[in-house]
């Protein structure tokens, strides 16, 4: 909601990154539904022996459904972030790097989803312990996938820093921008904290042992959505403080890049001007220059000093 309010206040059109984040939000709600249902209705948080007769099976079904939703929800947040970076930074090599991360995230998500779905043979063995099912050690898989999740978190955290640092802005402005982008790194802390919690997963007493990992998985998804959207909140914060949406600091004019340009100089198409594609950092509406078709605005060049 805050993301869309900020876009509306900043008069910035919605993009693929916004709609992907909507999908992530829907998936987060879809994850929370069975997780909370298993906790409050089917005895989650109690030892299996203390549950009502039908609760262990119902709890296991709810947990199984939540497991299937977790990986796509986290993937949607990461893909949204990649799409946002692709809109902000026009460098072709950087976009190829984003594509590589996106393929890695999608591959890990597909593997995670298939492993969760077919963790037992037959599939019903995931929630029905009375069946003679052959099941894999899901705890080990969850911890490996958790580590891959942290790896991509770090990649998304550090990826934009070289791009921001090579912008022709004052040093304090660059640091401020990097600080704004780095706020999203808080989800990495949550992801790291969640991994040891997965060690308690156990099919023998799932009602007691699996509730902690389930709760922290839900927290991780929600924090990821919030952190991934903080970059877009500046117009909303400016409006709340009675200010106009404006570029960071006083650097409303971007100096002309030198021949070396941005981090990948040989692939930079022009040394005449640079697109600052930050929908969260639009100039005031009264002073906006003519816009591009995609809703971003070209900042005027100023002579090198």
Q: Which residue range(s) make up the domain with 117? A: 2-239
Average pLDDT per block of 10 residues along the chain, 305 residues long: 68 82 94 88 76 77 92 96 90 93 96 93 86 86 92 93 87 86 88 89 75 89 88 69 52 37 38 40 41 39 41
Question: Please, which residues have CB within 8 angstroms of residue 21's CB and are 6 or more apart in sequence?
Answer: 3, 76, 77, 80, 225, 228, 229
Q: Within a domain: residue 18?
A: yes
Query: Which two tokens mark 225?
Result: 């959505």
Collapsing DSSP to helix, strand or coil, 268 comes out as coil
How many other C-beta atoms are found inside a 10 Å radius of the C-beta of residue 148? 17
Mind listing the pLDDT tens digit for each residue in 64-115?
999 999 999 999 999 999 999 998 888 899 999 999 999 999 999 999 999 9
Q: Residue 243: its pLDDT value, please?
A: 63
Collapsing DSSP to helix, strand or coil, 235 comes out as helix
Q: Residue 93: its pLDDT value, please?
A: 92
Q: With the C-alpha atoms ordered 259, 265, 271, 276, is the resulting torsion angle positive or negative? A: negative
Closest CA to 157 of 180, 185, 176: 185
Q: State how far Cα 88 lies from the chain centre.
A: 16
Mind listing the pLDDT tens digit for each residue in 226-242?
888 877 767 666 666 76
Q: Residue 235: its pLDDT value, please?
A: 67
Q: What is the DSSP letter of 276?
A: -
Q: Residue 262: its pLDDT value, please?
A: 37
Q: Within a domain: residue 274?
A: no
Q: Residue 296: its pLDDT value, please?
A: 39
Residues 295 and 13: beta-carbon distance below 8 Å: yes
Q: Within a domain: residue 278?
A: no
Q: Within a domain: residue 31?
A: yes
Q: Within a domain: residue 147?
A: yes
Q: Residue 132: its pLDDT value, please?
A: 83
How many other C-beta atoms are found inside a 10 Å radius of the C-beta of residue 129? 15
- Type and span of the H or E element at 135: strand 134-135
Could you tell me the pTM of the whole model? 0.74
Q: How many domains is the chain partitioned into structurally? A: 1
Q: Within a domain: residue 144?
A: yes
Q: Residue 59: its pLDDT value, please?
A: 85
Q: Within a domain: residue 79?
A: yes
Q: Within a domain: residue 129?
A: yes
Q: Which residue has the tokens 């929908």?
A: 279
Question: How does strand 134-135 pair with strand 120-121?
Answer: antiparallel
Query: Which two tokens mark 82?
Result: 């990649």
Report d(CA 56, CA 148) in Å as an integer.
31
Report d(CA 69, CA 138) in Å as an integer.
15
Could you tell me which residues are beta bridge partners of residue 291?
A: 297
Q: How many angstroms separate the Cα of 151 from the Cα of each of 6, 144, 185?
A: 30, 11, 12
Write out 26-84 in H/E/C secondary structure: HHHHHHHHHHHHHHHCCCCCCCHHHCCCCHHHHHHHHHHHHHHHHHHHHHHHHHHHHHH
């Amino acid at each position: 909601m805050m993301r869309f309010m900020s876009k509306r206040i900043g008069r910035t059109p919605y993009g693929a990154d916004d709609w992907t984040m909507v999908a992530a939000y829907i998936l987060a709600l879809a994850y929370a539904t069975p997780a909370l249902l298993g906790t409050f209705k089917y005895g989650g948080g109690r030892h299996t022996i203390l549950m009502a007769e039908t609760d262990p099976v119902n709890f296991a079904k709810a947990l199984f459904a939540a497991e299937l939703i977790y990986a796509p929800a986290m993937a949607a947040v990461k893909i949204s972030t990649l799409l946002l970076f692709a809109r902000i930074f026009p460098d072709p090599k950087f976009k190829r790097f984003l594509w590589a991360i996106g393929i890695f995230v999608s591959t890990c998500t597909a593997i995670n989803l298939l492993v969760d779905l077919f963790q037992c043979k037959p599939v019903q063995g995931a929630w029905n312990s009375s069946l003679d099912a052959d099941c894999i050690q899901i705890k080990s898989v969850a911890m490996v996938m958790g580590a891959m999740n942290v790896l991509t978190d770090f990649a998304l955290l550090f990826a934009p820093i070289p791009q921001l640092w090579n912008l022709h802005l004052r040093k304090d402005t660059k640091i401020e921008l990097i600080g704004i982008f780095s706020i999203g790194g808080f989800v990495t802390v949550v992801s790291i904290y969640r991994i040891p919690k997965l060690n308690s997963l156990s099919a023998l007493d799932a009602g007691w042992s699996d509730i902690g990992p389930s709760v922290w998985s839900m927290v991780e998804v929600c924090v990821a959505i919030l952190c991934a959207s903080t970059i877009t909140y500046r117009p909303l914060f400016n409006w709340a403080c009675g200010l106009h949406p404006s570029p960071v600091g006083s650097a409303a004019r971007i100096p002309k890049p030198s021949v070396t340009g941005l981090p990948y100089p040989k692939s930079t198409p022009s040394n005449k001007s640079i697109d600052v594609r930050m929908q969260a950092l639009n100039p005031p509406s009264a002073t906006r220059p003519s816009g591009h078709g995609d809703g971003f605005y070209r900042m005027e060049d100023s002579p090198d000093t």
